[in-house]
Amino acid sequence: MRILRSKAQLREALERPRRDGKRISLVPTMGYFHEGHLSVMRAARRESDVLVVSLFINPTQFGPGEDLDSYPRDEERDAGLAEAEDVDLLWVPDADEMYPEGFATGVEVSNELTGVLEGDPARRGPSHFRGVTTVVAKLFNAVQPDVAYFGGKDAQQAVVIRRMTEDLDFPVEIEVLPTVREEGGLALSSRNAYLSREERDRALAISGGLRAAERAAAAGETSVAALVEAAQSELRNAGIEPEYVEARSAEDLSPIAELNGRPVLVAVAARVGRARLIDNVVIDPTSQNEPTEA
Ligand code: AMP
């Protein structure tokens, strides 16, 4: 595995394989790898000739007062883990490489997708997704992958990136992999590093709440408000006041009132201690429902 810093190095390393028609994959990350990241890398590894992992803590997707400065980082450990997954190129640009002086451009997906859930102005706001889409567009242009892999844990991010990719004609396939969870159900996240033992136990109510919503749907409940209430009640019992629990169309994030045969995203964000955690499930009546594993 080679560790590269500059776009020029990256371009040079990819020139030959691209000319030879090799399948190039990209897994964008912010590092501090856990099994969620590694499972995405593994899926990408199986389907590609050259596997590029980018590691960049993108400052423009953090708002004022968010955890940019304290976001966990350990490049050496990450490099070891990536190497063990047989990654070919670990690309670790610094902020000046991505945003040199004078940088003045942004990529924005419209408000219906970026102004709701995480992007609601009362939460992280649409500028969060502007940061995400701008950096992902830059990563796509720098790597020019055939396929890029993302995790379903960031479900809204995946919807927004698919939209951007289609709208801007990026010749990149987007693959979204299932959320990896700890035993007990907690979705793996770099931010879990902020949790004390007691907070980690309490945080189980987030995935527990989502499972309660799934169970209600499986038992025939079709009112979305009732599914949301099922999740909220688990959270309340654990003393967690969520920022939101919302159910929306998994395809275009539009609001829905009743399960209507289309996949529905049930998404939660909640602060536990100093960690702001997000999680979701997709209730898909068209597929054989595979309830979230505990
Ligand atoms: P991050 O470093 O948090 O930006 O995550 C990098 C990629 O890994 C994103 O596409 C995430 O959606 C994905 N990811 C993060 N956590 C998980 C998880 N628990 N399961 C599956 N994918 C994940």
- pLDDT (tens digit per residue) in 226-239: 999 999 999 999 99
Once rounded to an integer, what is the mean pLDDT over residues 57-80? 97
> Which has the closest alpha carbon to 111: 2, 1, 254?
254
**pLDDT higher at 287 or 225:** 225
Residue located nearest, by CA, to atom 6 of ligand 1: 29
Helices 126-143 and 155-167 cross at an angle (nearest 10°) of 60
pLDDT at 32 over 60: yes
Rg (CA), the chain: 19
pLDDT at 202 over 70: yes
pLDDT of residue 266: 98
Active-site hit among 37, 130, 138, 211: 37
Residue located nearest, by CA, to atom 5 of ligand 1: 29
- pLDDT over 70 percentage in the chain: 98
pLDDT of residue 286: 79
CB 214 within 8 A of CB 279: no
Over residues 262-278, the pLDDT tens digits come to: 999 999 999 999 999 99
pLDDT at 160 over 70: yes
Over residues 33-54, the pLDDT tens digits come to: 999 999 999 999 999 999 999 9
Residue 185 in contact with ligand 1 by CB distance below 6 A: no
Residue located nearest, by CA, to atom 22 of ligand 1: 151
CA of 37 to the centre of ligand 1 (A): 5
CB 283 within 8 A of CB 227: yes
Distances (CA, A) of 165 to 108, 151, 158, 159, 260: 12, 16, 10, 10, 28
Would residue 37 show up in a list of annotated catalytic residues for this protein?
yes
Residue 29 in contact with ligand 1 by CB distance below 6 A: yes
The pairing of strands 24-29 and 2-4 is unpaired
CA of 220 to the centre of ligand 1 (A): 31
CA of 281 to the centre of ligand 1 (A): 15
For 119-272, where are the E strands, in sequence order? Answer: 147-151, 173-177, 244-249, 264-272
Residue 32 in contact with ligand 1 by CB distance below 6 A: no
Say which residues have a Cβ less than 8 Å from residue 159's Cβ, sequence separation at least 6. Answer: 113, 250, 251, 252, 253
pLDDT at 288 over 70: no
pLDDT of residue 195: 97
pTM of structure: 0.97
Say which residues have a Cβ less than 8 Å from residue 84's Cβ, sequence separation at least 6. Answer: none
Over residues 69-90, the pLDDT tens digits come to: 999 999 999 999 999 999 999 9
**Mean pLDDT of all residues in the chain?**
96
Residue 207 in contact with ligand 1 by CB distance below 6 A: no
Residue 40 in contact with ligand 1 by CB distance below 6 A: yes
Q: Which residue has the tokens 């490489």?
A: 97
CA of 29 to the centre of ligand 1 (A): 7
pLDDT at 291 over 80: no
Q: How confident is the model at residue 293 (pLDDT cuts 50, 70, 90)?
A: low
Q: Which residue has the tokens 């997000």?
A: 278
CA of 223 to the centre of ligand 1 (A): 30
